[in-house]
Structure 1
Amino acid sequence: MNAAVIRYRTKPEAADENQRLIESVFGELALKTPPGLTYTAFRLADGVTFVHVVNGEGVSDLAAFQEFQRTLPDRLEIAPAREEATVVGTYIAEVLV
């Protein structure tokens, strides 16, 4: 399986807004549940570096993701670096609420 790993750094004053926009993407994903998609986003301990790991398709079709992308250049301190990766394994525990 192939995946993409995207890493970038936001301006300090834009990090919280960046996180809010990412959370909006996950909210829309929860409603639309694109089949075969695995998507994870991390905010690293420095508070301004973000890493996204995506495997599959469907994120770019979301209105929330398009909004995230539209305003991303204004939030960036270091442009995104994208690397292709091979998935070696994935484990997701079922969470009962």
Structure 2
Amino acid sequence: MHVMFRCKIKPTEVERNLALLRELYAQLGEARPQGLRYATFQLEDGVTFVAFAELAEGTAVLGQLEAFQRYRSTLEERCEEPPVMTTLSEVGSYGFR
């Protein structure tokens, strides 16, 4: 399954959001969960973040991580606009994997 997640963070919350993402990626680096590929990008406006996740079928490893739970638990209060999650259907790719 491929998922794209987009959120626009309040300008006053960007540093907090970045700190929480650093914690998440540190924990991912330690846990090295199988069946998960995950990347987050900060757009040039500085407040919009886009994450892409590729999850093996039946994989719920991301939601089990403490750092991800912390990130998600305060996301609504950090957002200027509600977060949007979209399931993606791959048409093709080159060198992406």
Query: Fold conserved (TM > 0.5)?
Result: yes
- 2:1 aligned with 1:5, yes or no? no
Query: Is there any run of 5+ residues in structure 2 with no aligned partner, and where?
Result: none
Which whole-Å deviations, capped at 9, do the CAs of 1:43-65 have from their partners, x for residues lacking one?
Answer: 11101000010111311110000
> How many aligned residue pairs are there?
91
Stretches of 4+ aligned residues off by more than 2 angstroms? 86-92
What is the percent sequence identity of the aligned residues?
A: 30
Distance 1:15 1:91 in 2: 28
1:65 paired residue number:
68
Query: TM-score of the superposition, structure 2-length normalised?
Result: 0.87
Query: Is there any run of 5+ residues in structure 1 with no aligned partner, and where?
Result: 93-97
Q: Alpha carbon RMSD of aligned pairs, Å?
A: 1.3
Query: TM-score of the superposition, structure 1-length normalised?
Result: 0.87
* Aligned counterpart in structure 1 of residue 88 of structure 2, from 82, 85, 93: 85
Give 3-state SS (helix, strand or coil) of 1:77's partner: strand
What displacement does 1:91 show?
3.2
